[in-house]
Amino acid sequence: MADKPEISRKAVYRLSIYSRCLEQLIDDGRELVSSTALAAAAGVKSSQLRRDLAYFGQFGMRGKGYQVEGLYQAIREGLGSDRESLKPVILVGAGNLGRALLCYDGFRKEGFEVKAVFDVAADELRDHGIQVPLFHEREMLEFVRENKINMAILCVPAEAAAEVVADLVAAGIQGILNFSPAVLKVPKSVVVSQVDLASELENLSYFISQKKIFEE
């Protein structure tokens, strides 16, 4: 077992960004890149980039930089995204946002596939042109266990979130990408990413108005 490297959520997030920047460089036919150039593309300081890479190992050539292809592979491997197979996820809550995300192709591009959708009103949703198997939420536990799913995308209304999360945890889900505007209570072993669209807008709005006050 490897020694705990103590890598933070934020650092892993940045490593995803670096990997995307490297894809771009590969497309551009670049062979080498310096930490300064890659950091600029990713919008970070070069020392931060080098430190982030150090979590996974040493990949550079002093005086030269990094081999684009090699560094890309190293980060993909470090992140555990082998790309061999799509990782299965489920989506819960087929309201406006949930159905929207089903159409989003970005998940597949990054190696994830939505295997099924669950909703309390599955029957009424039959004819919404949903391209993914649609079930009632009561079938969720069995599906998750049988298909060894460990990630869920949660798009239910805030009021419903607590109950659904309890079910997901009971079924053995390990990670939740949460779009419900609710604070989830989960065991420490379950990882949650909160995507709070309205709060993000509110955040922008606050800093815009602050700026205005300073300008006047």
Partner DNA sequence: TAGATTGTTAATCGATTAACAATC
- Tell me which of 4, 62, 83, 188 binds DNA, using CB under 7 A: 62
Q: Which of 83, 86, 61, 85 is nearest to 73 (CA)?
A: 83
Contact 176, 190 (CB under 8 A): yes
Tell me: does residue 177 bind a second copy (CB under 8 A): yes
The reply to whether 93 sits in an annotated binding site is yes
Tell me: does residue 11 bind DNA (CB under 7 A): yes
- In the list DNA, a second copy, none, the entry touching 201 (Cβ below 5 to 8 angstroms by class) is a second copy
Q: 126-134 long-range contacts, Cβ below 8 Å, gap at least 24? A: 128/94, 128/99, 130/94, 130/99, 130/102, 131/102, 132/91, 132/102, 134/94
What residues numbered 48-107 form the site for a second copy, per CB under 8 A?
79-81, 87, 89, 96-97, 99-101, 103-107
Tell me: does residue 214 bind a second copy (CB under 8 A): yes
Count of residues touching DNA (by CB under 7 A): 24
Q: What is the DSSP string of 79-97?
A: HT---SSPEEEEEE--SHH
- Min separation Cβ 40 and a second copy, Å: 9
Contact residues toward DNA (CB under 7 A) are 8, 10-11, 34-36, 44-48, 50-51, 53-54, 58-66
